[in-house]
């Protein structure tokens, strides 16, 4: 059974804090093993990548077969169900349209001292997208990572994914084609991250690595950060649903299970102002679990990490949501926008009773790559700006340096940085 808390109880604050502090991930120290893999890939390139792929994925490759051919990628669509392929293309267009609105604008202006100032945005030259592979590959992740990168203007986009025993989901390759991916490699695990970060004789290094993966992938991304950029270190999936008693309990139960079925470490939380409604949702979850194909995973998640919280009034949920800072929050209430305006920390917000989180996973438009484990307090979901960087621009004319230069000289002298002071003073024709 999930934990059930009431905000009216005297010990609620402590119990809620314990819920937030509870570790949901299996603690395993993989950093040492990953460091060795990365060291080997950096030193031996293709040889190490091929060796580790044979060891972990039982896939015998050569430098010539590391990449999928353009014909394999283009031909994958023919192996896909027509209805699913149509949905994939529709989702791709919606994701593209949404992210086009995120493109930032360059700016240049002249201030009152006559100094030209501004900034310009440029994309990274290349990005690598890690996609969990095999027959259960989440092809939607290709769209959610690759399309924002292409909208940002990234000229070279590389996908790498494991193909255990040589098995590949054709929908993943079809998603690569639809998203405009330039290169796709049959490599997974920490060795794939090393290949993208350091480059090999066959694969050129990238500037940034994004995408989800297991503990080995997450550790590898942490260890190569600085050599390349990364998006985030993602933890288990999570959802918080805020609902009043007017919602359909079966709908809310399904929403909670939509994240519970991801992984035993996932977390689903319901916050409501009605104790009877809380019980009805819990009963609906139990019923739906009996028929859910992934019921073993979902049951473990709901039993070990699920929570139901009853508050005095629905507005009280906002403060709790901010403390959770969830990856996803649904506001299935009478006035969702009013409640949303009281919430500061959430990866993605779903408004109203007809907006399940799952629509955001696939087709709504925003990327489903979102901050987890409370990092929504300081991080955002993946978007166009994650593939761009801003360069500042300064243009001093003679009168401009004359106007602001003396201040720079004074500050440099106060910091006892004489060369700094001289580089400005010489342009002011001062000794």
Q: In the annotation, is 327 catalytic?
A: yes
> How far from 11 is each of 18, 98, 257, 316, CA to CA, in Å?
11, 44, 28, 17
Using the 8-state DSSP alphabet, how is residue 65 labeled? G
Query: Which position among 261, 327, 330, 357 bears the catalytic label?
Result: 327
Which runs of E-coded beta strand occur in 17-134?
107-110, 116-123, 126-130
- Closest by Cα among 385, 382, 342 to 366: 382
Whole-angstrom Cα distance, residue 403 to residue 397? Answer: 10
Q: Please, are residues 38 and 224 in contact by the beta-carbon 8 Å criterion?
A: yes
Q: Please, are residues 128 and 158 in contact by the beta-carbon 8 Å criterion?
A: yes
For residue 323, count CB atoms less than 10 angstroms from its CB and return exposed for 0-12, middle for 13-18, buried for 19 or more: middle
Q: Please, are residues 393 and 116 in contact by the beta-carbon 8 Å criterion?
A: yes
> Tokens 């929050």 appear where?
329
Query: Which position among 183, 261, 262, 328 bears the catalytic label?
Result: 328
Helices 170-179 and 82-100 sit at what angle, rounded to 10 degrees?
40
Partner residues linked to 94 by β-bridges: none
How far from the centroid of its chain's Cα atoms is residue 398's Cα? 47
For residue 246, count CB atoms less than 10 angstroms from its CB and return exposed for 0-12, middle for 13-18, buried for 19 or more: exposed
Q: Please, are residues 16 and 319 in contact by the beta-carbon 8 Å criterion?
A: no
Q: In the annotation, is 335 catalytic?
A: no
Whole-angstrom Cα distance, residue 62 to residue 78? Answer: 26
Which runs of E-coded beta strand occur in 176-293?
183-185, 208-210, 229-230, 238-243, 267-272
Residues belonging to the active site? 327-328
């Amino acid at each position: 059974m999930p934990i059930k808390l009431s905000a009216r109880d005297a010990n609620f604050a402590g119990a809620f804090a314990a819920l937030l502090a509870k570790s949901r991930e299996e603690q395993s120290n993989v950093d040492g093993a990953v460091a060795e893999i990365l060291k080997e890939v950096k030193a031996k390139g293709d040889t190490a990548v091929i060796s580790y792929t044979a060891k972990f994925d039982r896939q015998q490759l050569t430098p010539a077969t590391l990449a999928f051919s353009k014909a394999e990628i283009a031909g994958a669509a023919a192996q896909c169900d027509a209805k699913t392929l149509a949905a994939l293309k529709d989702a791709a267009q919606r994701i593209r349209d949404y992210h086009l609105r995120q493109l930032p604008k360059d700016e240049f202006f002249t201030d009152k001292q006559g100094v030209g100032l501004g900034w310009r945005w440029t994309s990274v030259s290349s990005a690598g997208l890690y996609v969990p592979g095999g027959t259960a590959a989440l092809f939607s992740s290709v769209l959610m990572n690759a399309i924002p990168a292409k909208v940002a203007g990234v000229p070279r986009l590389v996908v790498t994914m494991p193909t255990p025993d040589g098995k590949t989901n054709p929908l993943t390759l079809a998603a690569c084609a639809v998203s405009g991916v330039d290169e796709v490699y049959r490599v997974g695990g920490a060795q794939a991250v090393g290949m993208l970060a350091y480059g090999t004789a066959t694969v050129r290094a990238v500037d940034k690595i994004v995408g989800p993966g297991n503990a080995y992938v997450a550790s590898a991304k942490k260890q190569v950060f600085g050599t390349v950029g990364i998006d985030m270190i993602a933890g288990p999936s999570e959802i918080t649903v805020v609902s009043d008693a007017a919602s359909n309990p079966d709908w809310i139960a399904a929403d909670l299970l939509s994240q519970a079925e991801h992984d035993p470490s996932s977390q689903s939380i319901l916050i409501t102002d009605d104790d009877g409604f809380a019980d009805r949702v819990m009963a609906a979850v139990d019923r739906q679990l009996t028929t859910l194909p992934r019921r073993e995973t979902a049951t473990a998640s709901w039993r070990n990490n699920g929570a139901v919280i009853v508050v005095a009034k629905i507005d009280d949920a906002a403060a709790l949501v901010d403390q959770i800072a969830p990856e996803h929050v649904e506001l299935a209430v009478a006035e969702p926008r009013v409640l949303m305006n009281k919430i500061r920390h959430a990866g993605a917000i779903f408004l109203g009773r007809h907006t399940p989180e799952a629509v955001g996973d696939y087709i709504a438009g925003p990327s489903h790559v979102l901050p987890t484990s409370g990092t929504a307090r300081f991080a955002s979901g993946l978007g166009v700006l994650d593939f761009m960087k801003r360069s500042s621009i300064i243009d001093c004319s003679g009168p401009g340096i004359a106007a602001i230069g003396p201040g720079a000289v004074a500050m440099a002298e106060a910091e006892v940085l004489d060369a700094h002071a001289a580089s400005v003073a010489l342009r002011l024709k001062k000794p």
